[in-house]
A and B are shown apart, each in its own frame.
Chain A
Amino acid sequence: MFYRVAGQYKTSYQADYALFPVKQDAWLLALVLIVAFVVFPLTASDFMFRALLIPVLIYALAALGLNILTGYAGQLSLGTGAFMGVGAYACYKIVTIFPELNIIVAIALSGFFSAAVGVAFGLPSLRIKGFYLAIATLAAQFFLVWLFQKWGWLYNYNASGAIQVPNTQMFGITVTGARASAMSQYFVVLSVVCIVTFLAINVTRGRIGRTWKAVRDMDIAAELVGINLMKAKLSAFFVSSYIVGIAGALFVFLWRGAAEADLFDIQLSFRVLFIAIIGGLGSILGNYLGALLIVALPVIIGTVPAMFGLPISSAMVEHLNTMIIGALIIGFLIVEPHGLARFWAVIREKLIIWPFPH
């Protein structure tokens, strides 16, 4: 009833290619954006920003990057954590060398470093597929984390071996470092994520997106319609690693504040992969739903039982979290391989025809 599409006629292809051909979708997004840009900043606490909102956005962005590679172009990667690390370390070096540079510019530039590394480790995809490619990207994962530890220049030869985010300002407001407020960091992250998402939607629905999907669905046929497989695969690695790199830079600069090489280990890769799988491979929306679930779950387990007066230890929260996420992943792979995004699509279809069954 609320989602009625009857009467919304398209009279031109331009209208058919609108970002939201159905009006209700646009309203819904407007509502979400108002909540994100106005309601949260007015109501949320620092804890809410730091424990929930900022990490959800950053993880969603990383998953979006991975999703372009795995969900759209069909190339499995287990190196996401390391590529995030490349973005973070590149950003750190850029800020060290050019302290005057705007932090947003530094983050945008650092993406190119991870993109280049991503393409280099994507080269095996030209010869191997599936699990074998996953193993090749796994090599990237271990090699890069080792490099982050051993190459002192990357962390300015700090005795601790960690990178410490300096205070930087934008328009007179401190956005990174220890003195930055959670809300200003939230706004920076939210803006970057919104812009990248918009660009990613456009790329995935145009010619290049079709090229990637064609390679994913049947590479022989893709070659047959004139798609250059090498270009298609490497461009997917480039775009994907660029977004993952930006997510990595945001991860350290606007959330963690400091990082050691171990932060970018395989656990992080798996975490992002789980978000992409639970959210839905081959979907943009899914990354947000998946990130919300994965990030919110431990927060909910940590706070809700306490609200009802149930004592729950932090170790217990950890165990419960691991168990529930494990069960969810198995459940999703069996019941709905297309993830949460597919659930939303089904709900939307039902809403469109509601109250009729067909």
Chain B
Amino acid sequence: MNAHPDHHIIVAPDDDGIAKGATLMEVKNVSLSFGGVKAITDISFDVRKGEIRAIIGPNGAGKTSMLNVINGFYTPQVGTITFRGQERRAMKPHHAVRQGIARTFQNVALFKGMSTLDNIMAGRSVKMKRSIGWQMLWHGPALAEEIEHREKVEEIIDFLEIEHIRRTPVGKLPYGLQKRVELGRALAMEPSLLLLDEPMAGMNLEEKEDMSRFILDVNQQRGTTIALIEHDMGVVMDLSDRVVVLDYGKKIADGPPEEVKNNQAVIDAYLGVPH
């Protein structure tokens, strides 16, 4: 049943007509507040095609809110987001998915009662088109479609080395594996922008190494652009091409890891200087 081991290069990166290194997404002057609480104030940054972009900052800096704005959970009061050359207005998360944005959550958001296979297959829901009439009959077009997508999913399962838990309900899996399944589900959506919210939170060193390798492989083999939030500075400095630093909802630094590491504002934010 396993796909051939040589199939490790998963699906070809989807071709959205944007050259590697060109701007894939641009966030411009975005502000978001809940009542009187300002979560994000006037933030601008861009994500280039093919890079790994890290968003860091102390707790409560507005990182997750930023991701929520990008994938449509929140609508910012001020500012615009341009994705693949298209400016976006208020939208629902499932619209963002259709545009090619996938995401994982800080605390795992899997479908607990479903198997690993079904969870990842669910990631392909948008790409499956057969109507309920065909599905009722099952044999014929619906089965052909199911098998076509199953093959893609099996490639992802192979890639993430989770063959042995294919049939296990994800609720029974340990945390590290759940995180991996969640990454698998996001990959199944074949996104052009993958948002990872603390992919390594709560992991031990070995699991972090595994996860880092998966992230790099996804980025290099599929050419998927990745924006990630992470608190482990070692991981962030090693993985990312560029880093944007938030503090109290404001952007305080933006640039390559070495530059950010030595930025006085960043050091102050992390060490805590009276504001």
Contacts and interface: CB of A to CB of B under 8 A. Distances in A.
Interface of A: 10-11, 13-14, 16-17, 199, 202-203, 205-208, 210-211, 213-214, 216-218, 220-229, 235, 239, 282
Contacts of B271: none
Interface in B117-135: 118, 121-123, 125-126, 128, 130, 132, 135
A217 B112 CA distance: 6
A230 to B, nearest CB: 10
* Ranked 3 nearest A-B pairs via Cβ: A226-B97, A226-B126, A217-B111
Contacts of B179: none
Interface string B79-111: 000000000000011100110001101000111
A224 B97 contact: yes
A218 B112 contact: yes
Interface string B126-160: 10101010011110001101110011000000000
A114 to B, nearest CB: 17
B113 A217 contact: yes
A222 B123 CA distance: 9
B1 interface: yes
A239 B143 CA distance: 20
Contact of A202 (B98, B105, B135): B135
B71 interface: yes
Given A207-B135, A213-B113, A10 B123 contact: no
**Chief secondary structure at chain A's binding surface:** helix
B237 interface: no
B260 interface: no
B114 interface: yes
B189 A14 contact: no
A225 B136 contact: no
B185 interface: yes
Interface string B155-185: 0000000000000000000000000000001
Contacts of A17: 143, 146-147, 150
Contacts of B93: 223-224
A282 B98 CA distance: 29
Given A206-B138, A210-B118, A225 B126 contact: yes
